[in-house]
Structure 1
């Protein structure tokens, strides 16, 4: 059996500490081992008993730091973790880490560890925007060990609306999962990655359209994975169910023609393009800007073709660019994927089985077979869509 992944979490003294409870619970339910360190100020917002209950392991505090141990506690913890999450990261702890100060269990453990560290700051807008705080933040991120989830914009506990809101638990969990896969390596650092997502809608009238069940979850996972690996990410998405995380440039479209325009405009600057959107094959030949009465609906719907976006991208692809396609299929998924790989001039393709339980459209999970123009073939069994995204980028790295 594989060793469970181990996540060390440091909680700072801020009201956002309550959000970390969801992070701990989610990671534990995903089968990970979790250990938690609370600073003295963190205990003013959340109790050791709370996090110990959620992690199924006693929480560590500065009181434990000064107790005798067989080996120093900060050394044991620093060697134990595969990923170290600090959330909320306060201005105080940020300043200490940026200058290598170690005066409590949390900061000593950071210096005694080698694993990647994920930082999720949270503070009042005025505090976050201080020159000293921004200097410390930028300085810390020059160390490749540290990975940042910049705070978002919203209503803060001080009733101020502005920057400083800690990243939401789901975004933090995704960041942890990415680091567990990559070990903190940024193999796409500085690369421009263009991704399409979601199912396009081809409207008959103001309310009716031809579409498909795609929710855009796979495309979002690809965008997050690329971002976590250091890429500059642009996501062109049809209507999707989830919000696009911060740090990703998002371009919203509805139909295939709009998606084609956005993809063609951004394609020349892209080093890697992943066409994961489920683009419609046809559209109604006629469109009404008003809702048609039921009696006026045609008995036979005339259809017209829509642009073949990935084929056009294949024709325009330059030598330095890589183009990845998706092929959602039932039955034999490899033969049509190989044909599409060659016909569309792709560098690689993801063959998706959509006739299996709990994979593909709408699911949080996926399975696939990766094929490339060299003849390589790799099968990925059912896993989360974020994991599949990372497996794909690992595969593409071989190109």
Structure 2
């Protein structure tokens, strides 16, 4: 913002803007990490604190972390310089995060009450709002609080994180923990991409993730370096866009976001059984898992001593799950594959697209820096059956997941 308090013209904007509202809960300390991470990523951040929030965290802390003034009710009641503060802040924001959201502020927002800077700014804004509630379990479970929660979320602007379960600051064990900063950060990233669109609302999505393990004894297996990060990101993006998501996954190295139906498996055979159980109800099926091509021909049910390990391991083929789905899929279903390749990665992906009767495929180069297995970033070329092709440069895996859904939804609309 300019020194006189007026906004810069939109034509001069370079970075997305997140407005953070902090209310009076002990979880306010977690918001410091969120604000710091947003500012470091280049996102413009401004913070509003309620009077109660100032009892937990000082405005100076948030001002330092955001590199901008942090506003309180004292600022709200000062003589105006230019346009009213709550109007300017409400119009400034691309996304409005309220964290922690207390029962008191929830009740005010539900009924449109505006007695402080935060609640007035909510009424003066039109952007998507992300809520991260936090309170004692008994408070959260009160019928009046649950009614307010359900009522306020009927507003299409409103999005929410999950409520964590565990040991609370009051020593109670139960629901009431604010979502962790990483989860809130991911949801903000999604909202900045979609601007609050729920374009997968009412859709059922089935996704596979992780690398299968083909054991030849209880402790040894043939596998691959897949961590499942990309598949989980695709699931998280679909969830944030309103889908009902089932994730069939192998052992993963990343936490699973709340709200997913999860089906843990280990081997390709187990994954095939789970996928074929759930695929008939799915509108979109995304095979993001790194599924084995072969497995040991024989399995020994106890650990082999080192001296008894065979010099050569006889291998047997593993059923091709994607190809089987390509044969079985119904006309309303969209089947998306992934192709992890080295070298010329687009040509084999295009062949796989047609051979397995896929609707779209993400060709993923795994021999480039910060791409592929285990990395937090990825890059790809998307292809579809109509001949469309889209290059996606290196970005976070969640952003790539959203780019994939954008690509797939265009194809789905044309069907």
TM-score relative to the length of structure 2 = 0.95
Q: Do residues 18 (structure 1) and 29 (structure 2) align?
A: yes
Mapped to 2, the partners of 1:84 and 1:246 lie a distance apart of 21
> Residue 51 of structure 1 aligns with which residue?
62
CA shift, 1:182, in A, is 0.2
2:49 to 8, 27, 38: 38
Matches within 5 A, 1:250-289: 250-289=262-301
Mapped to 1, the partners of 2:13 and 2:381 lie a distance apart of 23
1:198 to 210, 215, 219: 210
User: Structure 1's 338 and 2: CA in aligned 2 closer, same or farther, altered over 3 A?
Assistant: farther
Matches within 5 A, 1:9-158: 9-68=20-79, 69-158=81-170
> Residue 330 of structure 2 aligns with which residue?
318
> Residue 374 of structure 1 aligns with which residue?
386
CA shift, 1:150, in A, is 2.9
Structure 1: any 5+ residue segments left out of the alignment? none
CA RMSD of aligned residues (A): 0.9
Structure 2: any 5+ residue segments left out of the alignment? 1-11
Alignment deviations for residues 297-354 of structure 1 (CA, whole Å, 9 cap, x no partner): 1101100111211111111100010000000111111111111101111000000011
CA shift, 1:2, in A, is 6.6
> Residue 188 of structure 1 aligns with which residue?
200
Number of aligned residue pairs = 399
Mapped to 2, the partners of 1:264 and 1:398 lie a distance apart of 26
Mapped to 1, the partners of 2:64 and 2:287 lie a distance apart of 43
Alignment deviations for residues 121-172 of structure 1 (CA, whole Å, 9 cap, x no partner): 0001111111111111111111100001131111111111101111110000
Matches within 5 A, 1:200-279: 200-279=212-291
Mapped to 2, the partners of 1:150 and 1:365 lie a distance apart of 25
2:373 to 339, 358, 361: 361
Which ranges of 4 or more aligned residues in structure 1 deviate by more than 4 Å? none
Mapped to 2, the partners of 1:150 and 1:338 lie a distance apart of 38
Alignment deviations for residues 4-34 of structure 1 (CA, whole Å, 9 cap, x no partner): 1111000010010111111111111211111
Alignment deviations for residues 23-77 of structure 1 (CA, whole Å, 9 cap, x no partner): 1111112111110000000011111111111111121000000112211000110
TM-score relative to the length of structure 1 = 0.99
